[in-house]
Amino acid sequence: MPGQTFAMGDAHDDGVRGDGEQPVHEVRIPPFTIDATSVTVADFRAFVDATGFRTDAERFGWSAVFHLAVTDPDRVAGRMHGTPWWLGVEGADWAHPGGPSGTAADDHPVVHVSWQDAESYCAWAGRRLPSEAQWEAAARGGLPSKRFPWGDELPAEGHALNIWQGEFPLRNTADDGWVTTAPVRSFEPNAYGLWQPVGNVWEWCADWFSPVYYAQSPVDDPRGPATGSAKVIRGGSYLCHDSYCNRYRNAARSSNTPDSSTGNTGFRTVAA
């Protein structure tokens, strides 16, 4: 990625106020490198094979799986409060995304990894998680203030990214070809060569999350608040649908606690 100054944040007033996508503010970052794709299942397996690492989901014994992706209904331990389409499934982890009888495909993004798991992978790989500003600059692909990595509008055929089609959360028509994750090199890369920075899976960033940080952000290479309780996630996922979540945009932000893992969150890495 070239060093650049860009307008960070929601220039279209598309976001939820509580997500803190505004004010739009000038950010200046130096050059850096970023993975062209989300870290894959094969990438993560190499790390596990080399280190014997156990993820938070494996240690806890369960992880959050979308109800249509469950492969082992007898292993469902409960529903998530407020989001009943998320089920706690015993034995769900990075290698078994739907439950213990499922198998993750090597060319798909690794999921069921917490922020802490992603940090451990980065330490092994000699990389790090992107700052939120680095992530947004890379996703934008050099196109200033656009909604998406390719421009402001979704293409007419709707097949530029992996999001939900149909009636959420009951029926996914899979018009884009995928009910859950897609292979990391699906669709088309943006102008910087990044595949699927929006849609497919949320991606962890290094920063602590604050909905008021943008009003306080420094111009030069911002790295988020000094403390917090949740970490930033970016890009949306295969579950995004305009009926409840339009966070498959360059400026969209959300968060989760550092030990949380779900079937729609992964990561990619950077280096200076």
* pLDDT single digits (tens) 19-38: 999 999 999 999 999 999 99
Please state, in angstroms and rounded to a whole number, the distance separating the CA atoms of residues 63 and 113. Answer: 9
Q: Answer whether residue 82 is part of any domain.
A: no
Where do we find the tokens 């790390």? 47
Decide if 109 contacts 103 (C-beta within 8 A).
Answer: no
pLDDT at 9: 98
Q: Answer whether residue 138 is part of any domain.
A: yes
Q: Answer whether residue 94 is part of any domain.
A: no
Q: Pick the closest to residue 232 from 200, 267, 256, 264 (CA basis).
A: 256
Q: Answer whether residue 31 is part of any domain.
A: yes
CATH number for the domain harbouring residue 126: 3.90.1580.10
For residue 94, what are its two tokens? 């990075």
As a whole number, the mean pLDDT across the chain is: 97
Q: Answer whether residue 57 is part of any domain.
A: no
pLDDT at 158: 60
What mean pLDDT is predicted for residues 252-269? 98
Q: Answer whether residue 71 is part of any domain.
A: no
Find the domain containing 198 and state its range: 4-47+107-271
pLDDT at 155: 82
User: What digits encode the pLDDT tens for the residues 143-157?
Assistant: 999 999 999 999 876
pLDDT at 164: 95
Q: Answer whether residue 234 is part of any domain.
A: yes
Decide if 47 contacts 71 (C-beta within 8 A).
Answer: no
Beta strands in the chain (DSSP E): 4-8, 25-29, 33-34, 62-66, 76-80, 83-90, 166-167, 171-172, 202-208, 231-234, 253-256, 265-266, 270-271
Q: For the stretch 220-239, what's the b/e string if a residue is b when 16 or more beta carbons lie within 10 angstroms of its beta carbon?
A: eebebeeebeebbbbbbbbb
List for the chain the helix, strand, coil content (%; round to 5). Answer: 20, 25, 60
Domain count, the chain: 1
Residue, of 243 and 194, whose pLDDT is higher = 194
| 19 φ, ψ (degrees, to nearest 5) | -80, -15
Decide if 20 contacts 212 (C-beta within 8 A).
Answer: yes
What mean pLDDT is predicted for residues 35-53? 98
Q: Answer whether residue 86 is part of any domain.
A: no
